[in-house]
Structure formats: structure tokens, C-alpha cells
């Protein structure tokens, strides 16, 4: 029987990318689907959605509208992911041609969802932490691996606890086997995923040996043939000394870390319910910089959270001067349903939010240009992962700079020493030495 065709579009974060890989694995290996990039020939069209800010939610409805026009007769449309979780049946009301809705944390139900008309799978308490998903990866060289599901921090701006439910850790044996299998198939790097990775081990579904995130990193680093370990996102609150020690001392752990700051004002951090002060954050960031040579620190910053004064905003700018982040993901605060901050009455006008975002991004770019310039003539070890146009190939340094050189397939999956000849803001150009 010839395979049915699956078209899947993924919005949002790395966790969503991994959820899509799980969906593809289940459908191709259990239900005789094969992937297509041509929506018009697809028998099943899926969109894996994000709801962290308002924009991607609008995108969902414009995209499914377009799918409806393009799809062939009889093709099904499924809405998966975070927006599916929190809008649930409302999606059927707004877009009646949608065949099923499958929330994040319910991914393992995909094989049922495609068979049951108007299937709705959005149970936030559903625990698939020990589900043995079939195997599919977009990249041979870099393997995404989930280590925990959900988050129960309830930061006051954040919808994620309402889309991915409470935090639960995935058993060590599943993670370890997945990592070993990926490495045996050619992966050089594993990328551990979770909403608060360094809270790993607080709660498992069943009895489990005691284990924290640092222990997990140590165990995984023993895998022979594995060269690099990355992870996202750690929470600054859980960066204890043991974690700092493991991170800085273990040579397989890449020296780049995402430390979501959100705000540089203690007042705002408190109303956000982040659980740390700017002093704690700075202490951790600077300690890490002193322990690791060539460390890159990336961050997330929200501007114009309700009640953010000009002074609060300036404190975020001061943190940029002090930490000198290599990368900043900056966002205007976006009001999200089901969150405490959405009910706060001191929302900031859009013009002020836009202005603050612009100021913050411009200052970051100035600092980044200085950082990037310093990389010229330096030599880095680069893992090449991706072919680019015009006979170029791209990869990343241990500390996460994107590097591009002249080269072809033979470099894929290889680690090479590269000297940087021309450092640009978004990419460092170089040559193999």
C-alpha cells in the first residue's frame, strides 16, 4: 500500500520542534505516512502551534484558513501544540473544518487523534513522561532530547503552565538510551530540552533513583562518541554551586548558557514571580564568566511588563552593560489569557513598549558588534551541520557562534579547527586551519 502523505508546520520553540519529531516518528512508523513539503498532495496537514505571545496565535488561524483552501479533497487538518492546549474546543468553533485538536503533553495520542472524528486531546494532567516514542530526527548530527515536560513556576506573564501542565521529569533510562542510540547513529551533539532543565529530578511518575541535573549531565557525558552537550532552558534560580561546578568543569558541556533574565529590576522580578534578584542573577552570570574561558551567555528580556517604570527599564539596560550578553531574545510584553499579569491594571502603552524594545535592541547590537569584532583571527573548533547556498557550509562553535566557510557535504558532522577571517554580527566567516 502506498504511503499517505503528511505535511507538518512547526511554530515556536525547540520543545515544539521535538514534539513534531515525535509526531512524525509515530505517524511514519505506525501509520504508514511519509513526509511531504507539498501541502497540496498531503493527506494529513498538521500545525504545531505556540502561544507564548499573542502573535503566533493569530498566525494559527490565518495558517489553517490557508490550509483549507489548498488542501486536496478528503485531506485532514489537525491542530497540535500549545495553542491547542489552551484554546481546545474553541478551535473547532472558530475553524469548523479542523478535524482534531491535540494539545502539548498529549503528543503520544496522535495515532488515535487521526482516527477519531473531532478528537480533542488537551488533558493537562496527562503524563506521557515514560512513553517510548518511535525514533525520528531532522538532523543526524544534533539530537534533541526531552528531559522534562511542563513547568509549575507560574511566572505571572507566562501561559506555559496552562499549555504544558505541571513539571515532570523523564526517567533517566529513557534519556540515556535515547542519547546512546542517537550517538550510535552519528550524533555528535545532544541538546537537552525542558522548561526548567536544571530543576531535573524533582518529580518522576514512578519510583526513581535520586538524581539532579548536574548528575544527569555527568552521566550523559560518559557516552563514548558524544562530543557536545547543550541544553535549554535553565532557570537562574536553580543555578546552585554544584551546577556551576559541573557546567564549568565538564569538557563535553558546551560553554554557552541561556539565562533568562526577563527584567533587571528587583521590583519587576518580584511581580513577575521569578524567585531571584538581579544581584543573584549577576553573581551567577559573573561567576560563570570567571569559571569558563570564552563563555557565551544568552538571555530573554521582556520590556514593558505591567507597571515597568522608566527607571525599571533602565535597570534592564544596566544589566546588559554588566553581563554583556552574546545574544538577547527581547520581547514586548504580550498579554496572555489565564495569567496574573493580564489582570494587572498598570499595562504599558504600545508606543512606550516599542520605544523601549528599540532602545534595548540597539544597545545590544552595539555591544554585540564589539564582541564579534574580537573573534577575528581566533581559532575555534566548529561542528559543521548545515549546507548553505554558494558552496558554503555552516556550523557552531562550542560557545554557539555561527561559523560559515567554503565547503561541501564532506564537512557535515565533522569537527574542524577554523580561523575567523571576517566577523559579522550574525555569522563569523572563516577558513579551516
Q: Which residues are annotated as a binding site for [4Fe-4S] cluster?
A: 13, 50, 82, 151, 155, 158
260 binds, among ligand 5AD, ligand SF4, none (CB under 5 to 8 A by kind): ligand 5AD
Read off the DSSP letter of residue 18. Answer: H
Binding mask 128-167 for ligand SF4 (x = CB under 6 A): --------------------------------x--xx---
Q: Which among ligand 5AD, ligand SF4, none contacts residue 144 (Cβ within 5 to 8 A by kind)?
A: none
| Helix, strand, or coil (residue 48) | strand
Cα–Cα–Cα angle for 86, 90, 95, rounded to 5 degrees: 120
One symbol per residue from 221 to 260: x for binding ligand 5AD (CB under 6 A), - otherwise; what is it?
---------------------------------------x
Single residue of 98, 110, 192, 302 touching ligand 5AD by CB under 6 A: 302
Stretch that binds ligand 5AD, among 99-107, 221-229, 311-319, 333-341 (CB under 6 A): 333-341
Q: Which of 133, 333, 384, 411 binds ligand 5AD (CB under 6 A)?
A: 333
Instruction: Please pick, from the candidates 36, 51, 146, 232, the single residue that binds ligand SF4 as defined by CB under 6 A.
Output: 51
Instruction: Give the DSSP letter of residue 262.
Output: B
Of all residues in this chain, which one has the CB nearest to ligand 5AD in the complex? 300
CA-CA distance, 88 to 57, in Å (whole number)?
A: 13
Q: Which stretch binds ligand SF4 (CB under 6 A): 7-15, 166-174, 179-187, 307-315?
A: 7-15
From the CB of 133, what's the least distance to ligand SF4, in Å?
18
Terminal alpha carbon distance of the chain:
51
15 forms part of the interface with ligand SF4 (CB under 6 A): yes
Alpha carbons 16 and 4: distance in angstroms, whole number:
23
**SS percent in the chain: helix, strand, coil, step 5:** 35, 25, 40
Residue 334 near ligand SF4 by CB under 6 A: no
If the CB atoms of residues 57 and 220 are measured against ligand 5AD, the closer one turns out to be 57
CA distances from 75 to 10, 33, 42, 358 (A): 19, 13, 7, 43
1 contacts: CB under 8 Å, gap ≥ 6: 32
CB atoms under 10 Å from CB of 70, counted, come to 13
State the DSSP string of 31-46: S-EEE-S-GGG-SEEE
**Shortest Å distance, C-beta 399 to ligand SF4:** 24
Binding mask 167-206 for ligand SF4 (x = CB under 6 A): ----------------------------------------
Each residue 232-251 as x (binds ligand SF4 by CB under 6 A) or -, in order, gives --------------------
Q: Which of 218, 300, 318, 386 binds ligand 5AD (CB under 6 A)?
A: 300
Q: How many CB atoms lie within 10 A of CB 27?
A: 24
Any idea of the CA torsion for 98, 103, 106, 111, to the nearest 10 degrees? 10
One residue of 334, 397, 399, 400 binding ligand 5AD per CB under 6 A? 334
Question: Looking at 67, 133, 141, 157, which residue binds ligand 5AD (CB under 6 A)?
Answer: 157
The reply to whether 280 sits near ligand 5AD by the rule CB under 6 A is no
d(CA 36, CA 330): 34
The C-alpha atoms of residue 320 and residue 363 are separated, in whole angstroms, by: 8
Q: Which is nearer to ligand SF4, 59 or 208 (CB)?
A: 59
Residue closer to ligand 5AD (CB basis): 67 or 191? 191
* Residue 331 binds to ligand 5AD (criterion: CB under 6 A): yes
Q: Where would I find the beta strands (DSSP E) of 67-132? A: 76-81, 100-103, 119-121
Contact assessment for residue 255 and residue 282, using Cβ atoms and an 8 Å cutoff: no
Asked if omega into 99 is within 30° of 0 (cis), the reply is: no
What is the rounded CA–CA span in Å between residue 332 and residue 330? Answer: 7
Helices of type H across 89-240: 90-94, 110-113, 161-164, 172-184, 213-221
The answer to whether residue 52 forms part of the interface with ligand 5AD (CB under 6 A) is: yes
Strand partners of residue 300: 329
Annotated binding site: 13, 50, 82, 151, 155, 158
* Distance in angstroms (rounded) separating the CA atoms of residues 303 and 305: 6
Task: Single out the segment in contact with ligand SF4 by CB under 6 A; choices: 9-17, 124-132, 234-242, 294-302.
Answer: 9-17
Total residues contacting ligand SF4 by CB under 6 A comes to 12
Contact footprint for ligand 5AD (CB under 6 A): 52-53, 157-158, 260, 262, 300, 302, 331, 333-334, 336
Footprint on this chain of ligand SF4 (rule: CB under 6 A): 12-13, 15-16, 50-52, 81-82, 160, 163-164
Amino acid at each position: 500500500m502506498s504511503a499517505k502523505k503528511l505535511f507538518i508546520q512547526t511554530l515556536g520553540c525547540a520543545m515544539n520542534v521535538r514534539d513534531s519529531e515525535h509526531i512524525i516518528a509515530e505517524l511514519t512508523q505506525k501509520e504508514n505516512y511519509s513526509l511531504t513539503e507539498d501541502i497540496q498532495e498531503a493527506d494529513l496537514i498538521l500545525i504545531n502551534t505556540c502561544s507564548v505571545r499573542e502573535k503566533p496565535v493569530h498566525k494559527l488561524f490565518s495558517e489553517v484558513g490557508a490550509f483549507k483552501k489548498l488542501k486536496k479533497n478528503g485531506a485532514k487538518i489537525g491542530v497540535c501544540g500549545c495553542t491547542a492546549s489552551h484554546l481546545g474546543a474553541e478551535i473547532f468553533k472558530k475553524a469548523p473544518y479542523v478535524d482534531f485538536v491535540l494539545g502539548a503533553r498529549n503528543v503520544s495520542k496522535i495515532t488515535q487523534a487521526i482516527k477519531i472524528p473531532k478528537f480533542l486531546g488537551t488533558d493537562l494532567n496527562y503524563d506521557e513522561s515514560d512513553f517510548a516514542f518511535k525514533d525520528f530526527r531532522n538532523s543526524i548530527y544534533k539530537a534533541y532530547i526531552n528531559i522534562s515536560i511542563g513547568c509549575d513556576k507560574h511566572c505571572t506573564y507566562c501561559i506555559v503552565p496552562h499549555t504544558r501542565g505541571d513539571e515532570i521529569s523523564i526517567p533517566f533510562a529513557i534519556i540515556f538510551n535515547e542519547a546512546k542510540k542517537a550517538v550510535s547513529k552519528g550524533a555528535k551533539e545532544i541538546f537537552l530540552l525542558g522548561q526548567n532543565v536544571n530543576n531535573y529530578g524533582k518529580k518522576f511518575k514512578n519510583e526513581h533513583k535520586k538524581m539532579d541535573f548536574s548528575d544527569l549531565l555527568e552521566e550523559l557525558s560518559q557516552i563514548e562518541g558524544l562530543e557536545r552537550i547543550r541544553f535549554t532552558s535553565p532557570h537562574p534560580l536553580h543555578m546552585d554551586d554544584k551546577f556551576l561546578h559541573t557546567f564549568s568543569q565538564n569538557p563535553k558541556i558546551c560553554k554557552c548558557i541561556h539565562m533568562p533574565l526577563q527584567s533587571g529590576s528587583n521590583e519587576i522580578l518580584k511581580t513577575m514571580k521569578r524567585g531571584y534578584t538581579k544581584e543573584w542573577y549577576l553573581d551567577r552570570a559573573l561567576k560563570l564568566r570567571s569559571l569558563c574561558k570564552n563563555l557565551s551567555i544568552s538571555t530573554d528580556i521582556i520590556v514593558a511588563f505591567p507597571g515597568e517604570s522608566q527607571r525599571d527599564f533602565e535597570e534592564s539596560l544596566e544589566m546588559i552593560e554588566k553581563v554583556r550578553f552574546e545574544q538577547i531574545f527581547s520581547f514586548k510584553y504580550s498579554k496572555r489569557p489565564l495569567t496574573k499579569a493580564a489582570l494587572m491594571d498598570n499595562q504599558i502603552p504600545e508606543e512606550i513598549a516599542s520605544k523601549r524594545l528599540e532602545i534595548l535592541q540597539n544597545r545590544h547590537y552595539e555591544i554585540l558588534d564589539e564582541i564579534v569584532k574580537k573573534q577575528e583571527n581566533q581559532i575555534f573548533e566548529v561542528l559543521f551541520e548545515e549546507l548553505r547556498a554558494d558552496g558554503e557550509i555552516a556550523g557552531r562553535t562550542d560557545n554557539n557562534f555561527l561559523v560559515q566557510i567554503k565547503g561541501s557535504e564532506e564537512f557535515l558532522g565533522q569537527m574542524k579547527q577554523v580561523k575567523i577571517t571576517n566577523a559579522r554580527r550574525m555569522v563569523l566567516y572563516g577558513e579551516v586551519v
